[in-house]
Amino acid sequence: MMKLKFGKANSKLVKLEKTLQTKVITFSLPSGFTCPGALDCLSKANRQTGKITDGAHTKFRCFHASMESLYPALRKMVWHNFELIKACGNDSKLIAQLIHSSLPTFFNVCRIHIGGDFFNQAYFNAWIAVAKNNPSKLFYAYTKSINFRVAKINDIPANLVFTASRGGKFDYMINQYGLKCAEVVFTELDASEKGLEIDHDDSHAAVGTKSFALLIHGTQPKGSVAAKARSVLNK
Q: What is the pLDDT along the chain (235 residues), one digit of tens a residue?
A: 799 999 999 999 999 999 999 999 999 999 999 999 999 999 999 999 999 999 999 888 999 999 999 999 999 999 999 999 999 999 999 999 999 999 999 999 999 999 999 999 999 999 999 999 999 999 999 999 999 999 999 999 999 999 999 999 999 999 999 999 999 998 888 999 999 999 999 999 999 999 999 987 666 666 566 555 556 556 6
- Closest by CA to 41, choosing from 57, 27, 28, 25, is 57
Residue 37 and residue 31: Cα distance in Å, rounded? 12
Q: Using alpha carbons, list the distances in angstroms from residue 79 to 62, 63, 131.
A: 17, 17, 23
Taking every pair of Cα atoms in the chain, the longest distance, rounded to a whole number of angstroms, is: 51
Are the beta carbons of 190 and 160 closer than 8 angstroms? no
Residue 58 and residue 43: Cα distance in Å, rounded? 7
Are the beta carbons of 10 and 98 closer than 8 angstroms? no
Predicted pLDDT of residue 100: 98
**Per-state percent for the chain, helix, strand, coil, to nearest 5:** 40, 15, 45
Return the bridge partners of 183, or none: 213
Predicted pLDDT of residue 125: 98
